Amino acid sequence: MASFTGILLATLVFLAMVTVIAFVHELGHFLVARRVGVRVEAFAVGFGRELAGWTDSRGTRWKLCLLPLGGYVKMFAADGRVRLPDGSTRPATPAERAETYGHKSVGARIAIVLAGPLANILFAVLLLAAIGLATGQVGLFDSLGYGAARAYAFAADNFATLAGLVSGDTPAGEVLGPIRIAEVSGRSAATYGFLAVALLTALISVNIGIVNLLPIPVLDGGHLVFLAVEACRGRPLGPRLQRISVLCGLTAVLGLSLAVTLNDLVRLTLG
């Protein structure tokens, strides 16, 4: 059995990595949304009740929430209605609709959606470049190339694993779930220190970026498919079909998450 200290360390390191990776991902969406003129109501790290936050000069509420297991960017009047301070809503005015995500061109919306996964991949490249510099493996002028090469290698391994899962060549037991990732995080931090944790963070960030690009509704890749269809047919898919697709995608993602978590628990129990 792992000691309480070891479990606590693993949990804290894992949550820190998740928080950083989620922040980078949502920051990508946020920056591009702002760049193309979409108003952002909230930028949240974590879910649930707000623990701390502030409102910037452009009306975005930045907040740290109770459950540090992801995050989100809330676009202004996403359903065409503006929420008032008392909790009621009213229809957005024409000027307000011009600042909404749905009012922007397909190209602008594609850029917003793509920005999250690409931010994760870029973050990994920069982090790997910094690791290469810190460990003396590469010089300053070669560091970005080094980081890009390492990130590409991580991404290629991830694609190979995904392809192996689909074909049956890769056993499902080889996929790390959240419990085993936390265990590896704590062990890396205790044994090898900050650089090992930074390397693991880069690996996970690349994987998050790649997985989010998969064409599964509820992931960014699924939204890109919807937008591609809209670009081809000149109008979006019906809301009912989109809701059904998202529900199916969410079921698949939750099912996979449950499966890898149960696999982690079995491996942890059996040692």
Kindly report, residue by residue over 112-137, the tens digit of the pLDDT. 999 999 999 999 999 999 999 998 88
Q: Is 35 inside any structural domain?
A: no
Task: Flag whether pLDDT at 193 surpasses 70.
Answer: yes
Beta bridge partners, 133, equal: none
Range of the domain at 129: 105-270
Residue 27 resides in a domain:
no
**Mean of the pLDDT values across residues 172-185?**
65
Q: pLDDT per residue over 22-52, tens digit each?
A: 999 999 999 999 999 999 999 999 999 999 9
**Cβ neighbours, 10 Å, residue 4:** 8
In a domain, 53, yes or no: no
Q: Could you tell me how many residues make up the chain?
A: 271
8 in a domain, yes or no?
no
> Tokens 């890749």 identify what position?
221
Query: Is 60 part of any domain?
Result: no
Report d(CA 104, CA 98) in Å as an integer: 8
Q: What is the pTM of this model?
A: 0.86
> Could you give the number of structural domains in the chain?
1
Q: For residues 191 and 149, what is the distance between their CA atoms, to the nearest angstrom?
A: 26
Where does 85-219 have alpha helices with state H? Answer: 94-97, 106-134, 143-167, 178-192, 194-212
